[in-house]
Structure 1
Amino acid sequence: MQIPGKLKSGDEIRIIAPSRSACILSEEGIQMAKERLQQLGFTVSFGRHVFEKDLQNSTSIEQRVEDLHDAFSDKQVKGILSVIGGFNSNELLPYIDYELIKKNPKIFCGFSDITATANAITAKTGMVTYSGPHFSSFQMVKGQEYQTHFFTQCLMQDTPFELKPSSQWSDDAWYLDQENRNFEETSWKTYQAGTAAGTLWGGNLCTLNLLQGTDYMPNLENAVLFVEDDEMTIPETFARDLTSLLQTVKSLKALVIGRFQRTSNISEEQLLFILDKHPILKGIPVLYDVDFGHTQPMFTFPIGGEVLVDASAEELKLVRF
């Protein structure tokens, strides 16, 4: 895998909208996110079509692909962040110039619906991409310290490091109310003990599954798989989606599951019931309730990077990213 150059103070980060556009963000929120990135030493620029919108608060395929290509072509741009997630970034995949990206490797980061774009880029180019905060994520006040710490650890340095559990987590709609937040204590949990190392793939489960049967689906054989899902899932759909993904592989190195949102009703009892169905998970390390996905705060991880999983000690270490 090709590791794009790490970010450094003074670098330009381009904000693009492969899915929903910035039209759904408030002017105050946009300014807060921009200022926080500037405080980290970055210069922030925006794609040409980021603030436009159509009937689904996105823009045309052509406009989104143009902004993506412009960001990778611009020699001044060193990193690319998605505005936010959504539902339609997979529309772009047949129209992306993967050779252009391969010739101009740089940081590409986002999560949720951006899972489709990021995994496709890595699968087609061999360049590591990143599952981590959107531009809009930097609006968040409480919980930002943890999120920013691992964002900079992963994207601004290359020394192997451990991903640590957050001290507390929240499932609040923080973007509606930054003050009245409810936080709970955290702990990562072990379903199956053991250690494993390997190439990391994954992100949002239902979005990753959109790639099945296409030329953009990564080869998950002997991978370390990170998956999570959002408030739109329920136990039955998560079970179905996980089953579908596990049926694409003969062997996995490890499985790491992000923490679920409360409205999904995927309790620990439900999750263990789902995991117990799969013999493939009885012989590999499996961790769950881990700090990535749609609860806050979240860490950043490399799609196509190398990770060490120690489920016995409930530890994760990024080795090559």
Structure 2
Amino acid sequence: MGKVKPKRLEKGDTIGIVAPASPHYNRSDIFRGIETLEEWGYKVIVGKNVHNKHEYLAGTDKERADDFNAMFANEDVDAVFVTHGGYGSARMLRYIDFDLVRQNPKIFIGYSDITSIHLAIQKYTNLVSFHGPGMAGFNPEELSEYRREYLFKAIAQQEPIGEIRKANDKKWINMIRKGDAEGQLTGGNLTLVCGSLGTPYEIDTKGKILFLEEVWAEPWNIDHMFTHLYNAGKLQEAAGIVIGECTDCGPKKHDPGFHVTFSLEDILYEFIEPLEIPAIHGLPIGHTKELATLPMGVDAYLDATNKKLFVTESGVR
């Protein structure tokens, strides 16, 4: 199955909004995002179940999947944006019509819990999808210039994004292992990547540039998940590894049953350095204000020696 690319987003195009994971807390978050998209020159269609709530989910699994399928089936819709992540995307995978998605290639963008959908799309359709921000954050308070720049570089231009640069010169990119590597981009949120193992949607890392990010996880949680990936052979098969900033991934409370001194960096070095795979840590590709949008399934080049990642292929046609 060959690589499938969606059409680039142009002014006047129609964006469909879906909520595959958690419900929104304030409706105004959605309304603000819609106003922003309209100010940018796009038309917006909102899924009929977007404002639903089913406990901690934005509607039942079937309702959320119905909205997703309906947007890909709608010939007037050019791109599908999620409201945000949270929890629950994996629950609706059984209801997604992947044949429909493959036959109607469109931009699909989201991150965090949406990782589950990205990996399933890669597995069953080869459609390039986009690890990037949800539209509930499309407002002047939350949408930084960096976020906006990389969003449009990824979905609105036919040239490759190029370097995923630091958002701030004061930030630091750490080289875990020197070297360089080429391969297609895959990955996403560490918890959800691990959750794919042993399922029909399991991540394929062989010969690929694996990127991972996490938020609100203590070092022992990170250790557990890297152990899982290592035991599954997923770290060893990657051509290169890129770790995002991993926001708030330190110990939450120092009241251990036994003394723990491992930091996030200690874990990364312990698992990744012996693999002799080029690897860096610290790029803005996760739960950070300055989130860079990454097209998943396209070619990339990792120059770990110089601490740089380049997206060398466009994700749109």
- Same fold, TM-score > 0.5, yes or no: yes
Asked if 1:195 corresponds to 2:180, the answer is: yes
Amino acid at match of 2:278: P
Q: What is residue 156 of structure 1 aligned with on the other side?
A: 156
Asked if 1:21 corresponds to 2:45, the answer is: no
Match of 2:296 among 303, 310, 315: 303
Select between 31-40 and 79-88 the one with higher mean Cα deviation.
Answer: 31-40
Deviation at 1:277, TM superposition (A): 2.3
Query: What SS class does the counterpart of residue 181 from structure 2 fall into?
Result: strand
Q: What is residue 5 of structure 1 aligned with on the other side?
A: 7
Asked if 1:214 corresponds to 2:207, the answer is: no
Select between 301-310 and 108-117 the one with higher mean Cα deviation.
Answer: 301-310
CA contact (8 A) 1:275 1:281 kept: no
Q: What is residue 243 of structure 2 aligned with on the other side?
A: 257
Deviation at 1:119, TM superposition (A): 1.0
CA displacement, residues 170-224 of structure 1 (integer Å, 9 cap, x when unaligned):
xxxxxxxxxxxxxxx3222211111111011111010111111111113211111
Query: What SS class does the counterpart of residue 112 from structure 2 fall into?
Result: coil
CA contact (8 A) 1:20 1:83 kept: no
Deviation at 1:141, TM superposition (A): 2.3
Q: What is residue 213 of structure 2 aligned with on the other side?
A: 228
| Distance in 2 (alpha carbons) for counterparts of 1:141 and 1:186 | 22
Deviation at 1:36, TM superposition (A): 2.1
How many residue pairs are counted as aligned between the two chains?
A: 301
| Distance in 1 (alpha carbons) for counterparts of 2:26 and 2:201 | 30
CA contact (8 A) 1:13 1:44 kept: yes
Deviation at 1:282, TM superposition (A): 4.1
| Distance in 1 (alpha carbons) for counterparts of 2:307 and 2:11 | 33
Is the alpha carbon distance of 1:132 and 1:61 closer, same or farther for their aligned partners in structure 2, counting shifts above 3 Å? same
CA contact (8 A) 1:16 1:81 kept: yes
What percentage of aligned pairs have identical amino acids? Answer: 28
Amino acid at match of 1:206: T
CA displacement, residues 228-277 of structure 1 (integer Å, 9 cap, x when unaligned):
1111x1101111112212333342111111112236449x9713311232
CA displacement, residues 14-62 of structure 1 (integer Å, 9 cap, x when unaligned):
110111133x1342x3332222222332212210100111222421111
Asked if 1:245 corresponds to 2:246, the answer is: no
Amino acid at match of 1:40: W
Select between 235-244 and 255-264 the one with higher mean Cα deviation.
Answer: 255-264
Is the alpha carbon distance of 1:110 and 1:57 closer, same or farther for their aligned partners in structure 2, counting shifts above 3 Å? same
Is the alpha carbon distance of 1:142 and 1:67 closer, same or farther for their aligned partners in structure 2, counting shifts above 3 Å? closer
Structure 2 unpaired stretches of 5+ = 253-260
- What TM-score does the superposition give when structure 2 sets the normalisation length? 0.89
Deviation at 1:279, TM superposition (A): 5.9
Q: What is residue 176 of structure 1 aligned with on the other side?
A: none
CA displacement, residues 264-306 of structure 1 (integer Å, 9 cap, x when unaligned):
449x971331123236654111111110111211000012121
- Any runs of at least 4 consecutive aligned residues in structure 1 with deviations exceeding 3 A, and if so which? 263-266, 279-282
CA-atom RMSD in angstroms: 1.9
| Distance in 2 (alpha carbons) for counterparts of 1:140 and 1:122 | 32
CA contact (8 A) 2:176 2:273 kept: no
Is the alpha carbon distance of 1:110 and 1:281 closer, same or farther for their aligned partners in structure 2, counting shifts above 3 Å? farther
| Distance in 2 (alpha carbons) for counterparts of 1:142 and 1:108 | 20
Deviation at 1:6, TM superposition (A): 1.1
| Distance in 1 (alpha carbons) for counterparts of 2:74 and 2:92 | 19
1:1-321 to 2 correspondences below 5 Å? 1-22=3-24, 24-27=25-28, 29-139=29-139, 141=141, 144-160=144-160, 161-167=162-168, 185-231=170-216, 233-249=217-233, 250-262=236-248, 264-265=250-251, 270-278=263-271, 281-320=274-313, 321=315
- What TM-score does the superposition give when structure 1 sets the normalisation length? 0.88
CA contact (8 A) 1:32 1:139 kept: yes
Select between 186-195 and 78-87 the one with higher mean Cα deviation.
Answer: 186-195
| Distance in 2 (alpha carbons) for counterparts of 1:263 and 1:278 | 17
Is the alpha carbon distance of 1:244 and 1:13 closer, same or farther for their aligned partners in structure 2, counting shifts above 3 Å? same
Is the alpha carbon distance of 1:269 and 1:147 closer, same or farther for their aligned partners in structure 2, counting shifts above 3 Å? farther
